[in-house]
């Protein structure tokens, strides 16, 4: 089942500026037909976007292929968390692998209600929308996404390209929680953090923030002071009480008024610093620099690598040590074998070993390293050893970093 709509630029929507940036943009929706399709398509239509909607994974991917070939790629792709039994992350990854769709913005459509799955869904997704989301929430998410997609300045101004390239390596890989009940503020802060190289998750109230942080501790929390259910001050107190002396996560107050009284209340509650709203990229960058230790890897060129080693460790607990040693036993010899094969021009062997190495990396959670290895594998498969040495040096660097991190994870 499929519907296709072409709509002329909207002339009636509230903010002319927003609609201007979004009019004519193409969107793809992959959603169960049990959903009310109108709820998904109406906001797009209001913004003057053109969309295709499918309830079949095969048809949807065929549309992506076609759009990629015709140079009419989709800017925004909304995907059901599970469509015909296929996880959204798989479909999203597949779509992003199409050369025309590398920059496509992914939005997850989540039918789960309540706070079962808070935060950004990860896996390349920029936002998630619940079935229960109101029309206004939907539009705020869309607007914030589209502004970053079109390069139009957002109300608070995102860092320019040069600046963001400069800062991004400094904070790469940090997990930051944004706790703010205002959806637009939340999305803007999250996007800004991502531009700075961090992974951002969001919470809509203090209670959710406490729960999320208890589940998987963040490296830093941006905490709005006034929130429903549990305000930022009380949420901070609970987090501090739970941490005891074992850990102190930097908590930065997001506050509109920065009077001395307000500051003192924040400090008394256990917060560490302040950011006044609206947040500016430069100030956010400064705060991150002040409170986050620079990762050792950021000094090595080309090492904006990410990994999910902690997640894999959490999953396997005591068995992780065995996995890590299995991984490291094979790793060194495989890298050596790749170099040897390349030295005698044996592309097939290079591809084969790179493939095996990449598979292990992905399994243990060294995702960045797996991707690096894939570049060598792909080139070698095509019979090319061009820039092999350079790529290999990057791989060896990252492998050392991964092994070092495994070591420290195991001694924790």
Partner 1 sequence: MPALRKELNILIADDDSTTRHVLRLLLREHGHQVVAEANDGDKAVELCEVHRPDIAFLDIDMPRMDGHSAAERIRQAAPGVGMIMVTNLPTLDNVQKALQIGIDGFVVKPFNAVKVVEAIDNCIKHKG
Q: Minimum Å distance from CB 299 to partner 1? A: 26
Q: Minimum Å distance from CB 82 to partner 1? A: 7
Interhelix angle 347-364/388-411, rounded to 10 degrees, is: 30
Task: Compute φ and ψ for 215, nearest 5 degrees.
Answer: -65, -55
- Preceding peptide of 412 cis, ω within 30°: no
According to CB under 8 A, which residues from 28 to 67 bind partner 1?
57-58, 61-62, 64-65
Work out which of 256, 268, 283, 315 binds partner 1, going by CB under 8 A: 315
Work out which of 7, 86, 152, 163 binds partner 1, going by CB under 8 A: 86
- DSSP for 133-201, please give it: --HHHHHHHHHHHHHHHHTPPPTT-PPPHHHHHHHHTTTTT-EEEEE-S-HHHHHHHHHHHHHTT-EEE
Work out which of 5, 17, 166, 311 binds partner 1, going by CB under 8 A: 311
Stretch that binds partner 1, among 148-156, 212-220, 272-280, 349-357 (CB under 8 A): 349-357
The separation between the first and the last C-alpha atoms of the chain, rounded to the nearest angstrom, is: 52
Query: Edge-to-edge strands of the sheet including 76-80?
Result: 2-5, 50-54, 26-30, 76-80, 105-110, 125-130
- Contact string (CB under 8 A) for partner 1, positions 352-391, x = contact: x--xx-xxx-xxxx-x--xx--x-----------------
Taking the C-alpha atoms of residue 47 and residue 27, their distance in angstroms, rounded to an integer, is: 11
403 binds partner 1 (CB under 8 A): no
CB closer to partner 1 out of 78 and 284: 78
408 binds partner 1 (CB under 8 A): no
Alpha helices (H) in 179-297, listed in sequence order: 183-195, 206-215, 232-243, 260-269, 281-291
Work out which of 7, 24, 39, 87 binds partner 1, going by CB under 8 A: 87
Residues that bind partner 1 (CB under 8 A): 57-58, 61-62, 64-65, 68, 82, 84-87, 89-91, 93-95, 97-98, 308, 311-312, 315-316, 319, 322-323, 326-327, 330, 352, 355-356, 358-360, 362-365, 367, 370-371, 374
């Amino acid at each position: 089942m499929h519907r296709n709509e072409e709509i002329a630029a909207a002339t009636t929507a509230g903010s002319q500026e927003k609609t201007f940036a979004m009019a004519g943009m193409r969107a793809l929706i992959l959603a169960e037909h049990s959903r009310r399709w109108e709820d998904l398509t109406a906001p797009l239509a209001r913004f003057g976007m053109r969309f295709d909607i499918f309830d079949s994974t095969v048809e949807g991917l065929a549309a992506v292929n076609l759009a990629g070939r015709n140079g009419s790629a989709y800017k925004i792709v909304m995907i059901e968390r599970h469509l015909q039994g296929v996880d959204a992350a798989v479909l999203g990854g597949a779509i992003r692998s199409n050369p025309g769709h590398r920059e496509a913005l992914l939005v997850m459509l989540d039918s789960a209600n309540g706070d079962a799955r808070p935060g950004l869904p990860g896996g390349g997704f920029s936002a998630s929308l619940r079935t229960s989301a109101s029309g206004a929430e939907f539009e705020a998410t869309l607007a914030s996404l589209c502004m970053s997609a079109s390069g139009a300045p957002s109300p608070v101004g995102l860092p320019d390209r040069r600046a963001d390239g400069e800062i991004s390596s400094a904070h790469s890989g940090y997990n930051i929680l944004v706790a703010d009940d205002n959806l637009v503020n939340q999305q803007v802060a999250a996007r800004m953090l991502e531009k700075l190289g961090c992974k951002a998750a969001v919470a809509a109230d203090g209670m959710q923030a406490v729960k999320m942080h208890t589940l998987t501790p963040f490296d830093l929390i941006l905490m709005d002071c006034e929130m429903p259910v549990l305000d930022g001050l009380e949420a901070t107190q609970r987090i501090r009480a739970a941490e005891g002396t074992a850990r102190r996560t930097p908590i930065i107050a997001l506050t509109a008024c920065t009077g001395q009284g307000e500051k003192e209340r924040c400090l008394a509650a256990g917060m560490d610093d302040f950011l006044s709203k609206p947040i500016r990229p430069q100030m956010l960058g400064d705060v991150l620099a002040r409170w986050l230790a620079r990762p050792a890897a950021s000094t090595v060129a080309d090492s904006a690598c990410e990994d999910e080693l902690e997640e894999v460790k959490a999953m396997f607990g005591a068995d992780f040590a065995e996995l890590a040693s299995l991984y490291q036993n094979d790793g060194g010899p495989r890298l050596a074998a790749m170099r040897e094969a390349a030295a005698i021009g044996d592309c097939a062997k290079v591809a084969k070993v790179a493939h095996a190495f990449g598979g292990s990396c992905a399994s243990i959670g060294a995702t960045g390293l797996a991707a690096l290895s894939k570049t060598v594998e792909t080139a070698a498969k095509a019979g090319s050893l061009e820039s092999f040495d350079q790529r290999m040096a990057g791989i060896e660097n990252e492998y050392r970093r991964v092994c070092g991190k495994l070591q420290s994870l195991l001694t924790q």
